[in-house]
Amino acid sequence: MKNLVSDVGGVLYSFDPSFDPRKHEAAFVKAMEYLGKAKLDLKSQLEGEREAVAEGLLQIYPHRSGVRNFLKNLTFYHGILVATSLPETTRYILRQIGIPTAGLEIFDMSDYGSKKDKEAWKKILRNYSQIDVIVEDGEKNLAAAGEAAAELGFTPRLYQAMPLLVG
């Protein structure tokens, strides 16, 4: 089976209905302020993210075509998700937007470094014998992931939105 590596926030859902990355981040910051976690380290804030989602402080807006395409792609691709969220939060959000999590591998990039750093991506990608597709809505993040994959000997197709890969 081929491997599809994808970001989650911005590709499959957003905390902003217009899918503006700045507004998505601003909603997260506002929720952390409300929860009294704004001045805490990233891991502590990520622990508050699921609480914020469950309490409705952070609204989840599914990217309908992204979700639809991802589900169809899973017919022929193994899903590897890389988010800056705790894996249990990612699973919770995915279930909320209609994506079953069984069989998906989910990584929290904050355990490895920054998505803008190819070395952080390498720490995840080196666990696979092939990487066929990478989807990341952030241009710099996608470039770093692509460089990491290339340095590991992979030649994935790179996308900033979830494509329909199967017909």
Sorted by where each begins, the domain ranges of the chain are 2-13+62-159, 20-54
HEC letters along 55-67: CCCCCCEECHHHH
CATH class of 2-13+62-159: alpha beta
Q: Which residues, including other chains, have CB under 8 Å from residue 131's CB and lie 6 or more apart?
A: 3, 5, 125, 149, 152, 154, 156
What pLDDT, in 10s, does the model give residues 10-25?
Answer: 999 999 999 999 999 9
In this prediction the pTM is 0.95
Place of tokens 């989602």: 53
What pLDDT, in 10s, does the model give residues 24-58?
Answer: 999 999 999 999 999 999 999 999 999 999 999 99
What pLDDT, in 10s, does the model give residues 74-132?
Answer: 999 999 999 999 999 999 999 999 999 999 999 999 999 999 999 999 999 999 999 99
Report how far residue 88's alpha carbon sits from residue 54's, in angstroms, rounded to the nearest whole number: 12
